[in-house]
Amino acid sequence: MNRPLSVPGLEEFVFDLEEVIKERRSTRMFLPDRPVPRRLVDEALALAIRAPSSSNIQPWHLVFASGAARDRLVVALLREAHGRPPRVPVLPPSFAHLRRHLGAQVYGSMGIAREDTDARRTAVLRNWEFFRAPLAGIVCMHRDLGCVDAIGVGMFLQTLLLALTARGLGTCVQVSIAGYPEIVHAQLAIPPEFSVLCGLAVGYPDPAFPANNLRIGRQPIDENVTFLDY
Ligand SMILES: Cc1cc2nc3c(=O)[nH]c(=O)nc-3n(C[C@H](O)[C@H](O)[C@H](O)COP(=O)(O)O)c2cc1C
């Protein structure tokens, strides 16, 4: 983040796109008492809605909860998470090694040993506290839409993450929140026609939490991209 650009009309610095892309990472511990200025979220949303979508239907639907609404949601989610596992999509076995590798990095950086199931559980439960973020987002899409529209939501979401990062905010996208959709629907009065895709924690990262500084690696590009005659 060392090459800020001053943009006329914006009071704050925004950052070079490549720097912001490299700077964004998942934050897993926020400063609970440092509120997120609404103006920054509004600015980020104004950029995120520039994302492309199939037939320009703009399939994203977001609900943000802070203050008492956020706290009520967290209490209800934690109560549920203590009672039963979340319903999250099963990962096919051929991808399981990637999740194991991620877990080793994330929990390792928190100083949690692989066999320390109690400490892991405590860390996992922080998902349903939105990692203590003061702003809890719920990312939804109309239930009648499909995969191609989920691409549009994803494009919106990454743009939103980058715009928030450029404003000094931390974020974490959370499928874990979608593991208890009925709780989220009930607590935030989300209409039934919207499916809960994931949560989005937003806040200022806790600088004292080592896992916030993790740089999760990526596979070599040729594992995922093929060029033919090029
Ligand atoms: C759709 C989606 C769902 C995710 N769900 C969770 C989650 O439930 N809990 C969590 O801690 N991280 C979650 N993440 C964050 C990923 O683990 C993270 O993006 C990935 O490991 C790469 O790390 P980075 O974001 O720090 O670059 C999710 C990310 C995405 C895009």
Mean pLDDT for each consecutive 10-residue tract of the chain (230 residues)? 47 76 97 98 98 98 98 98 94 94 94 93 97 98 98 98 97 98 98 98 97 95 97
Question: Which pair of structure tokens corresponds to residue 228?
Answer: 């033919």
Q: What is the pLDDT of residue 180?
A: 98
Q: Which residues of 26-134 form beta strands (DSSP E)? A: 61-65
Inside any domain, residue 122: no
Q: What is the pLDDT of residue 187?
A: 98
Residue 198 near ligand 1, beta carbon < 6 Å: yes
Domain assignment of residue 65, given as a range = 25-85+129-211
Q: Which atom of ligand 1 is nearest to the CA of 88?
A: 8
Tell the residue nearest (CA) to atom 4 of ligand 1.
174
Q: How far is the CA of 102 from the centre of ligand 1 (A)?
A: 10
Q: What is the pLDDT of residue 216?
A: 96
Inside any domain, residue 105: no
Q: Are 143 and 193 contacting, i.e. CB atoms less than 8 angstroms apart?
A: yes
Q: What is the pLDDT of residues 92-150, one digit of tens each?
A: 999 999 999 999 999 999 999 989 999 999 999 999 999 999 999 999 999 999 999 99
Pocket test for ligand 1, best of 23, 97, 174, 195 (most atoms within 8 A of CB): 174
Inside any domain, residue 108: no
Q: Which residue, among 80, 90, 60, 74, has the nearest Cα to 150 in the 3D structure?
A: 60
Q: Which atom of ligand 1 is nearest to the CA of 28?
A: 11
First vs last Cα of the chain: how many Å apart? 34
Q: What is the pLDDT of residue 13?
A: 58
CATH of the domain at 52: 3.40.109.10
Inside any domain, residue 7: no
Residue 69 near ligand 1, beta carbon < 6 Å: no
CA distance 202 to 170: 6
Tell the residue nearest (CA) to atom 23 of ligand 1.
216
Inside any domain, residue 11: no
Residue 216 near ligand 1, beta carbon < 6 Å: yes
Residue 20 near ligand 1, beta carbon < 6 Å: no
Q: How far is the CA of 210 from the centre of ligand 1 (A)?
A: 17
Inside any domain, residue 74: yes
CA distance 89 to 17: 32
Q: How far is the CA of 212 from the centre of ligand 1 (A)?
A: 12
Q: What is the pLDDT of residue 148?
A: 98
**Which pairs count as long-range contacts for 31-37, CB under 8 Å and 24+ apart, including other chains?**
31/132, 31/203, 31/204, 31/205, 31/206, 32/132, 32/133, 32/134, 32/203, 33/134, 34/134, 34/203, 34/204, 35/66, 35/134, 35/135, 36/66, 36/134, 36/135, 36/169, 36/202, 36/203, 36/204
Inside any domain, residue 175: yes
Inside any domain, residue 106: no
Looking at the structure of the chain, the number of domains it has is 1
Q: Cα–Cα–Cα angle for 174, 223, 218, nearest 5°?
A: 40
Q: What is the pLDDT of residue 12?
A: 56
